[in-house]
Amino acid sequence: MDFCLSEFQEQLQDVARRFARKELPEIGRWIEETGEPSPRELVRRFADMGWLGMNLPVEYGGQGLEAIDALLVLEELAKVSPAAAFPVFESCFGPILAICHFGPLELRKALVPKVVAGDYMLSVSMSEPQAGSALTELTTKAMSVDGGWRLSGQKRWCSGAGHAEGYVVYCRMSDEPGAKGIGAVFVERGTQGFSFGKKEALMGFRGIPSADMFFDDVFIPREHVVVEAGGGFNRMMRAFNLERCANATMGLGVAQGAFDYVLDYVQERSQFGKPIVDFQAVQIRIAEMAMKLDAARLLVRRAASTLQDGFPSIRDSSMAKCFSNEIIRDVAGSAVQLMGAYGYSKEYPIEQRLRDAWGWGIAGGAIDIQKVNITADIVGRRFDQRR
C-alpha cells in the first residue's frame, strides 16, 4: 500500500496550486459578488492547461489520465474558489463521463472534443419536485415516436441550468416500474419546447447556477438516447460512484482553504499579549481540523484508486463522500469560530466557505442516503424505503 504521490502527480498538483493562487482569487471574488458562473475565458484557460476532461479517453479527445490525477487538480482549484473550479469538476466527473462509458459512439465523438476544448458545457438533470432521494419516482417521460422520442416533464435542482449548452436528462422511457423504466437522453439548450425557470437563490454555491427545467413535447432524435430503459439506469448510476469522489474533493478544497486561511490567522492574531495559537484550546481545534481533513482525503484517494471497470465501488465512494461532507462542515464551522466576529463578516472569506461547505452534503446525494448505501453494501441487500 503506497500513500505517496508519483513525481508526475506532485508536479501536476504543484502547477495547479500555483495557478490557483495566482489566477483565481480575483475571479473567485467576482463570482461570489455577482453570482455569475466562471467566465468562458477562464474555462478556455483550463482547456489550455489540459485540465478539462483530463481523465477522459484519448480516443474521444481526453488525456486518458487517472481519476486521482484529476482530483488532485480539482482540490487545488477548489481551495481558492469552488465555483471557478466547477467547469473542471463537470468536464472530468459530470455527465460527460457517463456518455464516454455508456453513450453511443457518435455522441461521444460529437461532445467530448468540444467539452475538452472548453467550447461546450454539459450538465446532468435528475431530480424533480417529487423525486430527489427517491429518484426512481421521477415522472418526466419520453414517448417513442417516428424517428425518436417526445420528452415531457419538469426537472429541478439542475446545476448549470440555463448556462450549459447540453443536458443529460434522466427520464421514464417505458412503463416498467422503478429503475427498469428509466433511461437517459441528451438535450441541447435551445431545442424547441425546452425552457428554464427562474434562477435559484441559494445559501451558497454562488456562480453555480440552478433552475427548474421544463420539457414540453421536446423531440429527441434516436441518436441522442444515451441509454434506453432496461438496465441502462443502473449502469449509468455507476458513473456517480466516481462523481461522489469529486463532490467530496470539491468540499475538501473548500474546507482546506478555510483551514489554510485560519492557520495563518491564529498565528497573527494576538489576545492577552500573545498569538492565539499559543492557547491550548486553539491548538486542540487546529489538530482536530487537520486530522479530519487528512482522514477524508485518504478515503477519497482510496476510492479513486481502487477502481473496477473504471469506477470505484458504491461502498468506497459513499464512505468518501459521506465522511468528507460531514467533516468539511465541522472544519468550516471551526474556522468561523476561531476567527470570531471576523469569521462571521462578509469582508473575510470564511463565512462563504461555511455556506459552500454545507451544500456538498446535499448535492449529489444527501449524507444520510450515502449511509443507507454503505449499510446496504455491508449487509448485501438493498432496502425498500417504501414499505
Residue spans of the domains in the chain: they are: 7-116, 122-229, 238-379
Q: How far apart are CA 46 and CA 213, in angstroms?
A: 28
Mean pLDDT of the chain: 94
The per-residue pLDDT for range 26-84, each reduced to its tens digit, is 999 999 999 999 999 999 999 999 999 999 999 998 999 999 999 999 999 999 999 99
Residue 194 has pLDDT above 90, yes or no: yes
**Residue 134 confidence (pLDDT) above 90:** no
What is the pTM (predicted TM-score) of this model? 0.93
Q: What percent of the chain has pLDDT over 70?
A: 99
385 has pLDDT over 80 = no
pLDDT-derived band of residue 237, with 50, 70 and 90 as boundaries?
A: confident
Looking at residue 278, its pLDDT comes to 98
pLDDT band for position 306 (cuts 50, 70, 90): confident
Pick the CATH number of 7-116 from 1.10.540.10, 3.40.50.620, 3.40.190.10, 3.40.50.300: 1.10.540.10
Q: For position 355, what pLDDT does the model report?
A: 97
Looking only at the bridges linking them, the beta strands covering 210-221 and 194-199 are antiparallel
pLDDT, tens digit, 9 for 90 and up, residues 320-365? 999 999 999 999 999 999 999 999 999 999 999 999 999 999 998 8
DSSP code for 5: P
Query: What's the CATH architecture for 122-229?
Result: Beta Barrel (2.40)
Cβ-Cβ contacts under 8 Å for 356 (sequence gap 6 or more): 82, 204, 205, 254, 332
CA distances from 74 to 29, 116, 117, 258, 307 (A): 18, 15, 17, 16, 19
Domain 238-379 belongs to what architecture?
Up-down Bundle (1.20)
